[in-house]
Structure 1
Amino acid sequence: MNTSSNDWPSSLDDSELDELDRYLRAHAEDDSLLLDGVHGLLSALAVGPMLVTPEEWLPEVLHHPFADEDEGNRVLALLAKLNDSIEAELDVDAYEPILGEIDTDMGPALSAAGWCEGFSRGIDLRAGLWEKRLAEDPELMELLGPVMALAVDEGILNADAEFEKLSDDEYDECLSQVPAVLGAVSQYWQEHPATEAELDAQVQALAADSEEAAAPPRHRSGHWVH
């Protein structure tokens, strides 16, 4: 795709990514999302069936008060820029998932575990819409196949049947398909938007969740496929 410099999305540069990564690591709890997980979360929201506001997703990312106003403004600005960049990158076929790194016997290797965890939590924020459609429309399930395979391989999702670990080549192939998967899923929801009944059910579920907001937070992941 040919794009002019003015059309190219304004994504976080390396120094901004490092800055956000350092903040998230410094304030992480046991189940906190790091940079790769936040990118997965926001990616799921970008291609999903219904708007999720920052007021809803920020609690999935930020768990501590800011040290001061300047720090808060800076972190929120970085998160907003990261969020805005995802849809823009998808529009010009420039999207790449932010992945973590793990140590292996063969040296450092990329891992989709954090990204998949975040993607799963993003889907959970509109679980009613996703789960109903995944159960009823095999097309959506098929489109998400490579991401599901990675999530099951990393233990983020539980498979119904016994699942054989992906080979290194299969893992890399699934990773390479993630940008295309997100583009296809976004197009799916544009062509098959949530029905009024589905939206009403989701709104009722959100209202019920808000009534339970005073309860201790629960760790959410792996609930979007059964």
Structure 2
Amino acid sequence: MNNASNDWPSSLDDSELDELDRYLRAHAEGDHLLLDGVHGLLSALAVGPILVTPEEWLPEVLHQPFADEDEGNRVLALLAKLNDSIEAELDVDAYEPILGEIDTEMGPALSAAGWCEGFSRGIDLRATLWEKRLADDPSLMELLGPVMALAVDEGVLNADAEFEKLSDDEYDECLAQLPAVLGAVSRYWQENPATEAELEALARTALAPEDEHPAPPRQRSGHWVH
């Protein structure tokens, strides 16, 4: 039997995912992200236009002080490993979204609601860049089509027009396309990086007084697509 390549990404194993999931659930309140949402958030950052530092995204994930230093170090290590694994998995076409599970009349089913909510919040962290480019370049909007369809279907994003609910087959097809979508979006930004004017606009937003910043959406609706 061949040994695994050293280039294969070091992703969290099942026990580590369960550990991180338990921590997030134990400290979740209101609209806090769970594991699927955190994965969606970090996925958006991994394929986005410019770097978002842990100092910026950790407040979207952690909302309470750690019980002790060991717990804090462990949770931060798991989050760092999860974050690092996403880009590595995309590089070798091994990415799979972490999805939630809901109970239906037919039994348990996968749900992209939490992942889409996290993805939307990840885009919000660089909203100035994303919104301008989405408005100026229809090809980026087209690339994000399956993500948008899932997000609208789950009520994570508001749509200007009414959409019929996705059929089970359409929903599953959109889920199956997520790895390819993220790869395509990552390549898009690599090939069409943020312009100097876009970066200047982002800098002006960052320097604006805090009360002038648009409040990020928190009620399961994003503002990165119109």
Instruction: Tell whether 2:225 aligns with 1:225.
Output: yes
Equivalent position amino acid for 2:160 in 1:
D
| C-alpha distance after superposition, 1:71-119 (max 9, x if no partner) | 0000000000000000000000000000000000000000000000000
Does the residue aligned with 1:10 lie in a helix, a strand or coil?
coil
What's the secondary structure of 1:88's corresponding residue?
Answer: helix
Matches within 5 A, 1:142-221: 142-208=142-208, 211-212=210-211, 219=218, 221=221
Q: Which whole-Å CA distance do the structure 2 matches of 1:131 and 1:208 have between them?
A: 18
Structure 1 residue runs of 4+, over 3 Å off? none
Residues paired across the two proteins, number:
221
Q: Counterparts of 1:47-62 in structure 2 under 5 Å? A: 47-62=47-62
Paired letter, 1:63: H
Distance 2:145 2:217 in 1: 27
Structure 2, unmatched stretches of 5+, are none
Superposition deviation, residue 207 in structure 1: 2.4
2:103 corresponds in structure 1 to: 103
196-205 or 65-74, which deviates more: 196-205
Mapped pair 1:92 → 2:120: no
Distance change (3 Å), C-alpha of 1:21 and 1:79: same
Q: Residue deviations 1:11-62, cap 9 Å, x none?
A: 0000000000000000001000000000000000000001100000000000
C-alpha distance in structure 2 between counterparts of 1:131 and 1:191, whole Å: 18
The residue aligned with 2:19 is 19
Report the aligned-residue RMSD.
Answer: 1.7
Please give the TM-score of this superposition, normalised by the length of structure 2: 0.94
Q: For residues 117 and 216 of structure 2, what CA distance do their matches in structure 1 show?
A: 17
TM-score normalized with structure 1 length: 0.94
Give how far 1:217 is off. Answer: 8.5
Give the match's secondary structure for 2:41.
Answer: helix
Secondary structure of the residue that 1:110 maps to in structure 2?
strand
Q: Distance in 2 between matches of 1:208 and 1:79?
A: 30
Asked if the contact 2:217/2:223 (under 8 Å) is kept, the reply is no
Q: Aligned-pair distance for 1:218?
A: 6.7
Shift of 1:208: 2.3
Query: Do 2:124 and 2:216's aligned partners in 1 also have CA atoms closer than 8 Å?
Result: no
After superposition, the C-alpha distances for 1:119-174 in whole angstroms (9 at most, x for unaligned) are 00000000010000001101000000000000000000011111000000000000
Q: Secondary structure at the match of 1:177?
A: helix
Code of the aligned partner of 1:37 = G
Question: Alignment identity in percent?
Answer: 87
Q: Match for residue 70 of structure 1?
A: 70
